[in-house]
Amino acid sequence: MAEPPRRTPTGERADLKRRAIVDAAREVFLTRGYEAGIDLIAQRADVSKVTIYNHFGSKRELFLAVIHDALEDALQQPKSALEKSLAESSDMREILMRAARGWVTGMAQPQVLALRTLVASEVERFPELGQAWKANGPGPTSAILVEEFRARIDAGELDIPDIDLALVQLYALVLYPHFAHLAYGERINKNRANELIDRGVDMFLTYYSAKTVSQPNC
């Protein structure tokens, strides 16, 4: 049976329905998996299947919207906090600490972690889900940090030969342990999370701070 023709609803009422559909879809996908039917999502959102298809076109597009909205909600505050800290402080350690706390606060929420697990379970069938997760992840804050790192390199404060690699290493120190523990059904407690951030940022800056090379005596 062909899907109903898609129309793109607009206006305040349409925005409210879209939000309700995405919220319901996130709940259903997390409890029933990607195989959950559109009928159940429509029931939870109190809309018709036609309304869902008008907004999203397909279940795959709806799932991509769930990923986008979840990560946008999780990372908007960290992005704003990073921009504010750059405007208020020149202390690279403080800037990175604030950024790392924002990532953990946003990305280590139970629903976001569960959604990441769901994406990982479906990525072989639908590679675009993994691409969407990557594109909507810490990218916005990464772009800000890239510019700041470049400025600090030019000023002689940091020595970072490969900024992309350095960012991966920073995430690995402060954020990725939360993902690893989730694979075992565990969560990192607040004290341990703070220790990972404190020591991780210190390790990062110790490694990448520009070293003063002493000149040999003539």
Domain-embedded: residue 214: no
5 pLDDT more than 60: no
The answer on pLDDT for 217 being more than 70 is no
Task: Please report, for the domain that includes residue 168, its CATH number.
Answer: 1.10.357.10
84 assigned to some structural domain: yes
pLDDT tens for residues 30-82?
Answer: 888 888 889 999 999 999 999 999 999 888 889 888 888 888 887 777 788 78
The closest alpha carbon to 114, from 21, 42, 34, belongs to 34
How would residue 215 be classed by pLDDT, with cut points 50, 70 and 90? Answer: very low
Whether 213 is covered by a domain: the verdict is: no
pTM over 0.75: no
In a domain, 80, yes or no: yes
143-201 pLDDT tens trace: 889 999 999 999 999 999 999 999 999 999 998 898 888 777 788 888 999 999 999 99
What's the pLDDT tens digit per position in 131-151? 777 777 666 678 889 999 999
Shared-domain flag, residues 134 and 73? yes
How many domains is the chain partitioned into structurally?
2
For residues 132 and 28, the model is more confident at: 28
Domain range for 130 is 69-208
Residue 16: exposed, middle, or buried by beta-carbon count in 10 A (0-12, 13-18, 19+)?
exposed
Whether residue 85 sits in one domain with residue 37: no
